[in-house]
Chains A and B, each alone.
Chain A
């Protein structure tokens, strides 16, 4: 008997293996391998988890993550599902003269092709609606999508992209934010100015502050463009049902705003759109606005089939938002014992081709740019400019990591020049409970000095300085 069972199991395994290899060859949605794991879970006893706040409780999703059972978008499949791919412009600034999709449409396995002109309202954005879903008339940066394909396999969709012929008329472009600031620079979104948002924080009188200072220091700093690089790329599946309702499974981090943007672009009432966000494999600010969702929805409408789109790693870099490079100029007046009397800050943010979350980033960077310090006389001015590069948007810190690099480097330079310990100059200037912020807000639950002292203590700062 035992012998027979053994053969049965082996046969099963062979069948599973064959099934998997067939799946892989055809790139069909994989058959989930059978897993054996303990089904029983512990019910916590009273007082093990109460009171709940302050407990290092394990995550309810931790078990699924640990067992590899969490379903991300790419783990989902629906019957008859198609795969979408988007053709990227590859040219930073151009006018689209002609798009010929006939050859792609004629390919076996290609179910639909979509261009920007078919999108009911082809613009979106969290503040300025300056971003097209797919470029229709103009290309503003090299990562712009110009056409999309839905096909029965990913490979066919990719091959079809090559068959789409786009004729461009190259236009002038501007890539450097300081160049873009100049009056005679190429206007990215002509006739509008390249400077699309500004922010000013004014407090006290900086001229008086500088006049009263014993020393004045200046410093210039700049940061680079980086990507969020979440483990899971942007992914979504759109299912347009016969009631004219669309369900979108998406990696969006903000489903409320996402639904509003999809409603606008599709010209569809909000109650006909359902967004289900699964457990997202990392956001860091990069998944706070729609990307391919309207494209997938329209392809699903065209084909009557569910349509999945998963960005490649390259698309993550070139076609989603990134962190703002900022050029930061600081000027600070201090007394001889290191107290800051006045500070002037000028920030120029590289906004890339579209606004995205630039206004928020600009505002936060400007407000935070003086640092967590008591400064009575402050002038902080910030500008964000369009360039023909990948758009910059929300990313963990909204401008704060950039300005922190500047104000803290500047602080150490001042400390070194005055022969002060970097910890002491910070303690001397740091906010206290009730200090006014740069915007005049009375601050509460302030813990900057506590954090300085606690970190220094833990590190052994004073000992290390000797």
Chain B
């Protein structure tokens, strides 16, 4: 019989390296027509980080994301970056990009101020325009300013900057210190069906509420969460590298190492928790790794809720769950009937 259960798990996760310096640098060039090129040493590994970095540069320059071309991951041409690791790209590289774009923008403001008859600090960049704060009718197209800066004033609008999160080394004996600049938080709730005759677990639904600071691109945050949950499902129920007695892997292939497929995926409901981190670019923190953290815990708590067994070792395979269910049922000693049953004729 299938029994339904629900389980909750919350978590916290840091952004960036533990104490160790993990800087990022970035370079932003504004072209004569107001479009821009961003150079970053980070690597796009499928998560959409270059999109997010482009959005951060665009926001700072007041232009559209598609106006920013991003060049990445070449040690000869792009500035130093610690890389796509430790959920740090949006926060650390993002901060460097924002600072670099801000420096290019400062050159544009310096050039635009006399053209608009105001001081540079009275200006803001918005909707591909450089305009006077609180008097947006007085404005210039950003392309016009960029062209003037480069062609007339001889000041090409280029900005370079770097960022490294602030940490304090840990005391070697007590571990006290500030290992990370900031943390994110999340809760996932899983709903499962456990078949108490076979031990099979089906994850029906996962609700995921994640804090990532400002969501620079909510669609990509959702993508990360969905991907993280699929990894979490595999970690909770299916995946395991097995070794023989001589220390050789016996299932290094997809036939015997069972990954979740689209058919194993539950319905996922994503909530992005409203939050703002003043140290992040436009309040953003990060979301990459944390999405894979609470899933297994939530599923295992849901199994416990469904059939009352606590699986203490992952993965909770059907065999393991069934064995636990059998062990839990009072092992009533086998009784031998006092009279032998009469066999039918």
Contacts and interface: CB of A to CB of B under 8 A. Distances in A.
B76 A274 contact: yes
Given A282-B45, A288-B85, A455-B189, A256 B80 contact: yes
B312 A439 contact: no
Contact of B63 (A50, A141, A279): A50
Given A317-B257, A398-B289, A447-B211, A255 B297 contact: no
Q: Which label, helix, strand, loop or mixed, suits the secondary structure of the B interface? A: mixed
A49 B58 contact: yes
Interface in A241-294: 252-257, 259, 273-285, 287-288
A459 B66 contact: no
Interface stretch (B110-118, B150-158, B271-279): B271-279
24 contacts: A46-B127, A51-B62, A60-B51, A224-B239, A226-B240, A253-B84, A254-B43, A254-B83, A284-B231, A317-B252, A318-B252, A323-B235, A363-B179, A371-B10, A405-B296, A408-B9, A409-B300, A416-B304, A439-B176, A441-B178, A445-B182, A445-B278, A446-B185, A450-B211
Interface stretch (B67-75, B192-200, B330-338): B67-75
B29 interface: no
B194 to A, nearest CB: 15
A200 B173 contact: yes
A53 interface: yes
B127 to A, nearest CB: 5
**Highest count of chain B CB atoms <10 Å: which of A202, A364, A394:** A364
Interface of A: 43-44, 46-61, 90-93, 141-143, 173, 175, 199-203, 219-227, 229, 252-257, 259, 273-285, 287-288, 313-314, 316-318, 322-323, 360, 363-364, 366-368, 371-372, 380, 388-390, 394, 396-398, 400-401, 404-405, 407-409, 412-413, 416, 422-423, 426, 430-431, 437-441, 443-448, 450-452, 454-456, 458-459, 461, 464-465
Given A229-B259, A461-B189, A48 B288 contact: no
A182 to B, nearest CB: 17
Contact of B51 (A57, A398, A443): A57
B103 interface: no
Given A317-B253, A439-B178, A451-B273, A175 B243 contact: yes
Contacts of A396: 228, 231, 288-289, 292
B247 A141 contact: yes
B209 A364 contact: no
Given A226-B239, A430-B10, A448 B58 contact: no
A372 B10 contact: yes
B84 A283 contact: yes
Contacts of B11: 368, 371-372, 400, 404, 408
Contacts of B76: 274, 276
B297 A274 contact: no
A57 B228 CA distance: 21
Of all A-B residue pairs in the complex, the 9 with the closest CB atoms, nearest first, are A254-B83, A92-B247, A317-B252, A49-B64, A447-B211, A201-B175, A408-B297, A277-B73, A52-B58
A91 B244 CA distance: 11
A172 to B, nearest CB: 11
Contacts of A199: 175
A226 B234 contact: yes
B280 to A, nearest CB: 8
Interface residues of B, number: 129
Interface string B121-157: 0000011100000000000000000000000000000
A60 B216 contact: no
Contact of B10 (A143, A390, A398, A452): A452
B7 A412 contact: yes
B208 A401 contact: no
Contacts of B234: 226
B213 A445 contact: yes
Nearest to A248: B75
Given A55-B55, A452-B10, A445 B275 contact: yes
A93 B209 contact: no
Contacts of A223: 235, 313-314
Contact of A282 (B46, B178, B247, B285): B46
Interface string B93-109: 00000000000000000
Interface string B208-223: 1111011111111000
Contacts of B72: 277
B301 to A, nearest CB: 5
Contact of A220 (B175, B179, B285, B312): B312
A221 B45 contact: no
Interface string B46-63: 101011001110110011
B2 interface: no
A366 B175 contact: yes
B1 interface: no
Contact of B276 (A288, A316, A400, A445): A445
Given A401-B293, A404-B296, A426 B10 contact: yes
Given A405-B300, A454-B273, A283 B259 contact: no
Contacts of A44: 64-67
B17 interface: yes
Contacts of A394: 85
